[in-house]
Amino acid sequence: MGDTTIRYLIVTPLRVQAGTQVVQTMVENNTKLKHIVSVFTGNKLCKVASRLRNKGIEVLCPNHAGHCSANLAEDSVIGNETEYARQCTIELNDKLKIAHVTTDGDSKAVNGITNAQRSNVKILRDVRHLANSMKRAVQNCTFSLSMFSGTNKRNLKQRFGLDLKARCTAELTSRFKST
């Protein structure tokens, strides 16, 4: 299982500061312990470069002279899940081969894993994202006029979506516990 978390520092009505830090984690899903097997941390922040820029000195991160705490360039895309998953997979290549990966619905991490180990990986979806997708599908569906009775049909449709989500999540969860 893998996921990426991006940290955004400043969000105000007048200014949006793009993400500056990212963490990609890979967790094994073969045991109940769910150990973290690989972590990639990315950082665009560098105190030394900031101080030098304030003095009028042009500095490029990462790898400038002196101590550079950044390992990502300031203009790099912070949401590059493909690259972060690739880095984690390279770290694991000598120890294990990834056959299945559980991600959220919009993740591109599988591309990085496939690229790093040069073989295809089967994509699985986690229960939470699958359930939310089902709920959205119900809300976007057009039902017959007689499907829901009463005057507040929109509310009943939303409640039906939530109920379906809860029931399917319970079924999947109980199935996982029994295996």
Quote the pLDDT of residue 83: 95
Residue 94: what pLDDT?
Answer: 86
Cα radius of gyration rounded to whole Å, the chain? 22
Kindly tell me if the per-residue pLDDT of 10 is higher than 70.
no
Q: Examine the pLDDT at 76 and tell me if it is beyond 70.
A: yes
Q: What is the pLDDT of residue 115?
A: 94
Q: How confident is the model at residue 23 (pLDDT cuts 50, 70, 90)?
A: very high
Please provide the DSSP assignment of 104-119 as one string.
-TT--HHHHHHHHHTS
How far is 30 from 141, CA to CA, in rounded Å? 37
CATH class of 8-125: alpha beta
Give the mean pLDDT of 47-65. 91
